[in-house]
Chains A and B, each alone.
Chain A
Amino acid sequence: MVRVLSVFLLASILHGGVYQTNCVACHKTLPVSIDKYFYRYLLKYSSEKDVKAAMYHYLQNPSKKKSVMAEAFISRFGVKQKSKLTNKQLQKALNVYWNRYKVFGRLR
């Protein structure tokens, strides 16, 4: 039982780890907090499947056209560089991101 719990905890840390190390670390330096991007995606793509797909495609191959951010924001901060994460790592990071900021179950 203790072994199962340890493995579960480690997996959670590892999942959160990809997101923390590769996403949060960089976004901390930007003036716009990471949750604001999430809600811009939600505003445009609505469902979990569509939001994750749009984020994935953007991170795989970022472009001004694919970005959900305002023109002024892109002019000032530019388009981010292509992600170096593997597909699996990217999916894991996106899952953590979705679970952290999703609306489902949070409304009262």
Chain B
Amino acid sequence: MLVSKSLDTDLARSEKQTLYRIATLYLLLSIIIIFGFSFMYYTAQKELMLQEKKAELQQDSKDFLLKLKQLHINFDKTQVYPRSKAYESAIFDSDKKLIFATIPTQLSLHKILYLQDAMIHLVSIPESYYLGAKYVIIQVKDNALWYERTKKELLLFNLLAFSVMFVIGYVLLRLFLKPMRDAIHLLDRFIKDTTHELNTPVSTIVNNIEMIDKTKLDAKTLKKINRIDIGAKTISNIYQDLTYLTLGNKIVVNDEKIDLGELLQERVDYFKSLANAKKVFMEVKIVTNTSLFIDRAKLSKLVDNLISNAIKYNKINGYIHIILNKNEIIFEDSGIGIAQENIVKMQERYTRFNNVSGGFGLGLSIVSSIAQEYKLKIKIESEEFAWTKVSLQW
């Protein structure tokens, strides 16, 4: 039977990071392209304005040269530099040395027509160098109307272009994500369907084993029954993990004051047969008994997963010490350990680092999710092939 299709797709951290990087790169490229176009448009508009002004400036230049010519002819009589209200001017000799100027600022002779400090400049070279003037600069004020118009146009264009790029980016990202989403959906759906189908047989096995009077069994049968008990509990644990994951958000939370010492002992007893099968010595050491205001089912799930992992990845004849302090529970085991570089990735869903034992890689993801919900801090220390220490702090 299929279950509801409304699944919450969980993207792992590395996948999210890749997506963020692609989105940032796309955004940066979009900004560069938009700014590149804006700059080109601005330059074109400026050039257009300069070309429109050129004729007017050329006329001013002609007028100035006529006056300069008159001054050149009559230089022995008058030395008054020709001025006009319409424009400012400057003259330079062939060595680009300033002869005279009505413009106070530094001028460039490298371009013919240019805009500098909101002033339009035209540099012309007359046929005859009146008073030695090879370069004549005519300067008029730029009314900046073109600038205001271009600014508005660019603002509108940038907004529009950015919106379009954003929509394209969003569509592309969704397309890019689709195969990944489909794969995760498929896995989630498979797990949900399997979980649902496991419910009845697992419950039947566990309940029936519990109902058997073990005192009446001979040693051989008891051994077999114990093996079935271990197997059933393992399946039951996996079943509970999967149920928690698939129905995690829909489970009714019932927070209450929980005696931690009592709960730890109860869970250790539950896993006793599993530990015995592997000859793992398990003990609870209560330094300071304390209680937490938490949902019992969730805390049990958290503890179960940590104990289950400690058994699963332990050595034959290994040990598990569970120590309860005032502000922490420590799960210490003599297991295979975890490499330092893998410790960070451990709490991601479906992450497994070895194939020593079976599993879906869900355990620590559930532990992490419950710990986050109740603001519990998880600290993992380990030495590969030697030991692992998981501390749950509050």
Residues of B within 8 Å of A48, CB to CB, are 93, 95, 97
B94 interface residue, CB < 8 Å from A? yes
Complex: A103 Cα to B99 Cα, angstroms = 7
Residues of chain A in range 40-99 having any CB-CB distance to chain B below 8 Å: 42-51
**Residue of A42, A45, A46, A48 contacting most chain B CB atoms (<10 Å):** A46
Contacts of A108 in B (CB 8 A): 79-81
List, in ascending order, chain B residues with CB within 8 A of A35's CB.
76
* Chain B contact residues: helix, strand, loop or mixed: loop
B95 to chain A, nearest CB (A): 4
Interface range for B: 10 to 19
Tell me the complex Cα distance, A49–B99, Å. Answer: 14
Q: Is the CB of B129 within 8 A of A46?
A: yes
CB interface residues, B 56-95, toward A, < 8 Å: 72, 75-76, 79-81, 93-95
Main secondary structure on chain A at its contact with chain B? Answer: helix
Roughly how many angstroms separate A106 CA and B133 CA in the complex, as a whole number? 14
Q: Does chain A have a CB within 8 A of B100?
A: yes
Tell whether, in the assembled complex, residue B129 and residue A39 are in contact, meaning their CB atoms are under 8 Å apart: no
Please tell me if B355 contacts chain A, counting CB pairs below 8 Å: no
- With a CB–CB cut-off of 8 A, which chain A residues contact B72? 39, 42-43
Residues of chain A with a CB closer than 8 A to B93's CB: 46-48
Per the bound structure, the CA–CA distance linking A49 and B93 in Å amounts to 10
User: B134 in the interface, Cβ–Cβ < 8 Å?
Assistant: yes
Q: Does B166 contact A (CB under 8 A)?
A: no
Report which residue of B76, B100, B132 has the largest number of chain A beta carbons within 10 angstroms of its beta carbon: B132
Interfacial chain B residues near A51, Cβ < 8 Å: 132
Other-chain residue from B80, B94, B99, B134 in contact with A104 (beta carbon distance below 8 A) = B99
CB atoms of A107 and B129 under 8 A apart: no
B129 and A45 within 8 A (CB): yes
A103 to B132, CA, bound (A): 8
Contacts A39-B72, A108-B81 given; indicate if A49 touches B129 (C-beta within 8 A). no
Bound Cα distance A42, B129 (Å): 7
A39 in contact with B134 given A45-B94, A46-B129, A107-B99 (CB within 8 Å) = no
Within the complex, what minimum Cβ distance (angstroms) separates A35 from chain B? Answer: 6
Given known A-B contacts A42-B129, A50-B94, A108-B80, A103 and B75 have beta carbons under 8 A apart: yes
A107 contacts B95, C-beta separation under 8 Å = no
Q: Within 8 Å of chain A (Cβ to Cβ): is B131?
A: yes
Question: B79 near A47 (CB under 8 angstroms)?
Answer: no
Verify if B249 is at the interface (C-beta below 8 Å from A).
no
Given contacts A48-B93, A50-B94, whether A42 and B99 have CB atoms under 8 Å apart is no
With a CB–CB cut-off of 8 A, which chain B residues contact A45?
94, 129, 132
| Residue B271 at the chain A interface, CB threshold 8 Å | no
Do B95 and A49 touch across chains, with their CB atoms under 8 A apart? yes
Q: Which residues of B contact A44 (CB under 8 A)?
A: 128-129
Q: Do the beta carbons of A42 and B95 come within 8 Å of each other?
A: no
CB–CB B79/A106 < 8 A: yes
Roughly how many angstroms separate A50 CA and B93 CA in the complex, as a whole number?
10
**CA–CA, A44 to B129, complex, Å?**
6
**Distance in Å: Cβ of B92 to nearest Cβ of chain A:** 9
User: Would B133 and A39 count as touching, CB distance under 8 A?
Assistant: no
Q: Does B130 have its Cβ within 8 Å of any Cβ on chain A?
A: yes
Q: Name the contact of A43 in the complex, choosing from B80, B100, B129 (C-beta under 8 A).
A: B129
Residues of B within 8 A of A39 (CB): 72, 75
B78 to chain A minimum Cβ distance, whole angstroms, is: 9
* Bound form: Cα–Cα A45–B129 in Å: 7
Q: Please name all residues of chain B whose beta carbon is closer than 8 Å to the beta carbon of A107 when the two chains form the complex.
A: 79-81, 99-100, 131
Query: Nearest chain B CB to A51's CB is how many angstroms away?
Result: 7
- Minimum distance in angstroms from B84 CB to a CB of chain A: 15
Q: For B133, list chain A residues within 8 Å (CB).
A: 46
CA distance A35 to B77 in the complex (A): 12
Contact assessment for A103 and B131 in the assembled complex, using a CB-CB cutoff below 8 Å = yes
Structural contact, B94 and A47, CB atoms closer than 8 A: yes
**Within the complex, what minimum Cβ distance (angstroms) separates A47 from chain B?**
4
Residues of A within 8 A of B94 (CB): 45-47, 50
Given the known inter-chain contacts A35-B76, A48-B93, A103-B75, please indicate yes or no for A42 contacting B81, CB distance below 8 A.
no
| Chain A min CB distance to B91 (Å) | 9
Provide a sorted-by-A list of 12 A–B residue pairs whose CB atoms are within 8 angstroms: A39-B72, A43-B129, A46-B94, A46-B134, A47-B94, A47-B95, A103-B100, A103-B131, A107-B80, A107-B100, A107-B131, A108-B80
